Amino acid sequence: MGASRTNGSRTNGSRTDGSRTDGSRTNGGFDVDALLADDTVGIVVCCGSGGVGKTTTAAALGVRAAEAGRKVVVLTIDPARRLAQSLGLTVLDNTPRAVTGLDLGQGGRLDAMMLDMKRTFDEVVEAHATPEKAAQILANPFYVAVSSSFAGTQEYMAMEKLGQLRAQADREGTWDLVIVDTPPSRSALDFLDAPKRLGSFLDGRFIRLLAAPAKAGGRAYLKVFSAGVTLATQTLSKVLGGQMLIDVQTFVAALDTMFGGFRERADQTYALLKQHGTAFVVVAAPERDALREASYFLDRLGEEGMPLAGVVVNRIQRVAAPGLTAARAAAAEESLDDAGAGESTTADLLRLHAEVARTAARHAAVVKRFRTGHPGTPVAEVPAASRDIHDVEGLRTIGDALAAG
């Protein structure tokens, strides 16, 4: 990729490798450097639907913020292997480690970690139960299944880890900015919804009923339903095996003491997301469906009162030879063809350019429509690099593009 970085040009937004798809800044642009320089912002959450560049954006923001002097920790989730390697994320031990190869002349730092979902869950249990009780829970087959495979656990644990990192940052002063990536999922909304869903499952009626006999309130409740519950337990025992229900019962009983703790934590982290110090960055691809998905997410953030910093439209096709339209390139290619030079390299270049220009025009059109539909929403456009982004240099390039708006 072209754009090279010179030291000290951190806030220099000029770029040479292509024009913006929308020359105007009607949306006020997305001033990423201002966001990263704002020391009241302590959490940045990168959201978006699957594969759009959440992890890349989170890492790029981390690098840029650290090189601008902030003390940053980035929580990544399932990063691409090569990117993980170049960030030094080779052990999955749930601990942030320093990223090397950065220019930290401004006094910043960058630590990065990969989320280990199961381990995070285990740690919550360990923190809230006596050692014996914790051991009992961790060995429970029902717990093992929920903590390692339940849809939503990853989102829940990402939020939990975010809460932990933020608390550690406040307690120890290690970091002043926590940047979080979100799990790959079809919809960005999953990140907001899944933890609640998990919570309500764990808190679900049937589970409560199973655990209820020990409790007075439960008994009264049970009376009403007792016939039904007995039937249900019997049937499920037949189908699923009695052991499973016993496991569930012991799990719920063991967890009961810390259950309040669980919910409270989830609620606290959720509340954290609404606070002033939090900023959501929504990443999207320059495709109609992806931008529609982003719109839903923006609406949702608005409803929840969660602070949006801006939208990043990632992997936009750029035109390096803007002087020539797709149509004129195609016409020129045709005339070379007529002249018997259809196989020449020049004809190839013209064909390629026509395609590039068409794609760029399509991207520009959907982005423009999105901007029009969301006046007042800051939007940054990041060009598609021709190679994967897998090292610090690549992340800097993305950071430069982000800052250029």
Write the burial class of residue 393 (CB in 10 Å: 0-12 exposed, 13-18 middle, 19+ buried).
Answer: middle
Instruction: Please report how close the Cβ of residue 378 comes to ligand ATP at its closest, in angstroms.
Output: 18
Interaction of residue 86 with Mg ion, rule CB under 5 A: no
Contact pattern for ligand ATP over residues 158 through 187, marking x by CB under 6 A:
--------------------------x-x-
Stretch that binds Mg ion, among 47-55, 155-163, 223-231, 356-364 (CB under 5 A): 47-55
Number of H helices, E strands in the chain: 15, 8
56 binds ligand ATP (CB under 6 A): yes
Instruction: Show the site string, 346-385: x = touches ligand ATP by CB under 6 A, - = not.
Output: ------------------------------------x-xx
Cα separation, 3 vs 121, in Å, equals 42
Amino acid at residue number 81: R
N- to C-terminal Cα separation, the chain: 18
Residue 35 binds ligand ATP (CB under 6 A): no
Total residues binding ligand ATP (CB under 6 A): 21
Q: Can you tell me which of 10, 118, 315, 371 binds ligand ATP, judged by CB under 6 A? A: 315
Q: Do 276 and 162 contact (CB within 8 A), yes or no?
A: no
Q: Which does 315 bind (CB under 5 to 8 A by kind): other proteins, Mg ion, ligand ATP, none?
A: ligand ATP
Q: In the 8-state DSSP scheme, what is residue 213?
A: G
How far is 277 from 300, CA to CA, in rounded Å? 19
Residue 56 binding result from Mg ion, ligand ATP, other proteins, none, given CB thresholds of 5 to 8 Å by partner type:
ligand ATP
Window contacting Mg ion (CB under 5 A); options: 46-54, 166-174, 220-228, 339-347: 46-54
Helix %, strand %, coil % of the chain (to 5)? 55, 10, 30
What character string, x for contact with ligand ATP (CB under 6 A) and - otherwise, covers 206-245? ----------------------------------------
HEC per residue, 123-162: HHHHHHCCHHHHHHHHHCHHHHHHHHHCCCHHHHHHHHHH
Write down the least CB distance from residue 272 to other proteins, Å.
26
Q: In what order do the strands lie in the sheet with 97-98?
A: 97-98, 109-114, 71-76, 177-180, 43-47, 278-284, 308-316, 379-383
Residues near Mg ion (CB under 5 A) are: 54-55
Residues that bind ligand ATP in the complex, under the rule CB under 6 A: 48, 50-56, 78, 80, 184, 186, 289, 314-315, 382, 384-385, 388-389, 398
